[in-house]
């Protein structure tokens, strides 16, 4: 038979025209319809699952190496080097201008860094 929408020659038992995708036959067989629904639902389900996996896989924040941060803090901490390393640019500039918050913030950060796991997240 021929598709009444695009006039393509198709099989007599076709329900959906393979050329234009429109319904040309009766749904008594209806085998095409559930397959189409299953395909779309399974693909969207897998897309949602992969999206959820992506969300789970994202770390809480920037991953920092404790050793690097601690060395930066000890030697360049009064200039805020470890704050720049952690991505805290504002705090880094503040440390740079105030000499590590007048060395108080610097010493606190060294002690805090020693207590952190390796790697740690900020």
Q: Figure out which of the listed residues 2, 5, 75, 121 binds Zn ion, where binding follows CB under 5 A.
A: 5
Q: Figure out which of the listed residues 1, 6, 45, 47 binds Zn ion, where binding follows CB under 5 A.
A: 6
CA atoms within 13 A on the CB side of 66: 11
Structure-token match 């060294």, residue found:
110
Classify residue 32 as exposed, middle or buried by CB count within 10 Å of its CB (0-12, 13-18, 19+): middle
Task: Decide: is 20 part of the binding site for Zn ion (CB under 5 A).
Answer: yes
Q: How many residues bind Zn ion (CB under 5 A)?
A: 7
How far is Cα 6 from Cα 72, in angstroms, rounded to an integer?
A: 71
User: Which C-beta is closer to Zn ion: that of 5 or that of 75?
Assistant: 5
User: Which C-beta is closer to Zn ion: that of 19 or that of 88?
Assistant: 19
User: Which C-beta is closer to Zn ion: that of 16 or that of 113?
Assistant: 16
**What is the nearest approach in angstroms of Zn ion to the Cβ of residue 10?**
7
SS3 labels along 44-104: HHHHHHHHHHHHHHCCCCCEECHHHHHHHHHHHHHHCHHHHHCCCHHHHHHHHHHHHHHCH
Of residues 79 through 118, those in contact with Zn ion by CB under 5 A are none
Q: Figure out which of the listed residues 14, 15, 19, 71 binds Zn ion, where binding follows CB under 5 A.
A: 19
Kindly list the residues in this chain that would bind Zn ion in the complex (CB under 5 A).
3, 5-6, 8, 17, 19-20
């Amino acid at each position: 038979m021929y598709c009444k929408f695009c006039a393509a020659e198709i099989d007599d038992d076709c329900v959906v025209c393979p050329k234009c995708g429109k319904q040309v036959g009766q749904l008594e067989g209806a085998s095409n319809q559930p397959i189409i629904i299953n395909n779309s639902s399974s693909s969207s389900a897998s897309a949602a699952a992969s999206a959820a996996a992506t969300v789970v896989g994202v770390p809480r924040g920037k991953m920092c190496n404790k050793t690097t941060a601690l060395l930066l803090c000890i030697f360049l901490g009064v200039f805020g080097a470890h704050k720049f390393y952690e991505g805290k640019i504002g705090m880094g500039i503040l440390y740079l201008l105030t000499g590590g918050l007048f060395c108080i913030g610097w010493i606190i950060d060294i002690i805090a860094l020693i207590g952190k796991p390796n790697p740690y997240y900020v």
